[in-house]
Structure 1
Amino acid sequence: MNNHQILTDEIVKLLQGGTAHASFQDAIDGLAPELRGERPYGLPYSIWQLVEHIRIAQWDMLEFSKDGNHQSPKWPDDYWPKEAAPKDNEAWDNSIKQIESDLEEFIRLLKSEDIYTKIPHGDGQTILREALQMADHTSYHISEIILIRRLLKAWK
């Protein structure tokens, strides 16, 4: 196995979580629907808002990485939902499904592209940089989800 393959494999593990930190799925598994919109102790975000923020940011990084015509949402307003809770279980399920499918698509892109070459429509970004940013961003917010669950006494 060459160094590039080793690096790519490790980045995939990092994106999927579960090695040095909990995975996204670990963070949301078993969460009672009525807790999705709770903001304990005056925290600024609910678990729903964090999940949606992960979804929007990950989607934006994926689309930027593959589409020169992509227009990113307006920061910060369009990266955070206003509603504290999803309108229904379908909205929750759809958000989770998009997070999973966008991550799978990004991993395919990561494995198929030259991760070191600058993205032509960017200003210095590479697929490697986007992958590391995506992993860092998602893991940060996963820890917030777990913290909220601990405050709600809804964590293992």
Structure 2
Amino acid sequence: MHADQRKKLINELSDLIKGGNAHVTLEDAIAGIPANLRTVIPDNLPYSIWQLLEHIRIAQKDIVDFSISKDYKTLIWPDEYWPEPTDEVSDVQWEASVKEISDDQQRFYQLLQDDEKDLFSPLPWGSGQNIVREAMLIADHNSYHIAEIIVARRLLGIWK
């Protein structure tokens, strides 16, 4: 792959992860949510907005950790991917979760920018996964759950 093609691919993958092209960004999806509604589970939905946000954080961190390190430790599905319901989430907890999502995306962007990494070669510690696939997995997974946040907000009457 030529350097200019690689750069274009990296930009496309980064934009896909950031969102906002065909779907709402995480930042827009969580903007202005009243603290007292973060943990409310809307009727007919299994999760609160907090649980969805935390699931995005946990799953994305898992994907990034897997993509970066052969020392990756597999999480147990579904127990270690989904937080338990809770009655309250502090601003500190909420902001820490949002920050970690952003920080892990930055770690992944750094991996994409590493010219030493072949974006299409299978990761030696995986079972055929490569960096491009993992980038698309992050984008796909996050956009799915961001849409669920929007649905929860609609049901709670706090979406546009």
TM range (shorter): over 0.9
Is residue 48–residue 85 contact of structure 2 (8 Å, CA) maintained in 1? Answer: no
C-alpha distance in structure 2 between counterparts of 1:50 and 1:85, whole Å: 15
C-alpha distance in structure 2 between counterparts of 1:128 and 1:86, whole Å: 37
Q: Aligned pair 1:149/2:150, yes or no? A: no
Question: Superposition pairs for residues 125-136 of structure 1, below 5 Å?
Answer: 125-136=129-140
Q: Aligned pair 1:42/2:44, yes or no? A: yes
Distance 1:86 1:73, change over 3 A: farther
- Runs (5+) with no aligned partner, structure 2: none
C-alpha distance in structure 1 between counterparts of 2:118 and 2:87, whole Å: 39
Question: Superposition pairs for residues 41-120 of structure 1, below 5 Å?
Answer: 41-112=43-114, 113-120=117-124
* Structure showing the higher helix proportion among its residues: 1
The count of aligned residue pairs is 156
Give 2:22's aligned residue. Answer: 20
RMSD, aligned α-carbons: 1.3
Question: Cα deviation per residue 1:90-137 (whole Å; 9 max; x = unaligned)?
Answer: 111111110010011111111213211111111100000100001000
C-alpha distance in structure 2 between counterparts of 1:17 and 1:110, whole Å: 17
C-alpha distance in structure 2 between counterparts of 1:36 and 1:85, whole Å: 9
1:39, distance to aligned residue in structure 2 (A): 1.1
- Runs (5+) with no aligned partner, structure 1: none
- Larger mean CA deviation between 68-77 and 52-61 belongs to 68-77
TM-score (normalised: structure 1): 0.95
TM-score (normalised: structure 2): 0.93
- Larger mean CA deviation between 96-105 and 78-87 belongs to 78-87
Question: Cα deviation per residue 1:65-113 (whole Å; 9 max; x = unaligned)?
Answer: 1111111211111100012455422111111110010011111111213
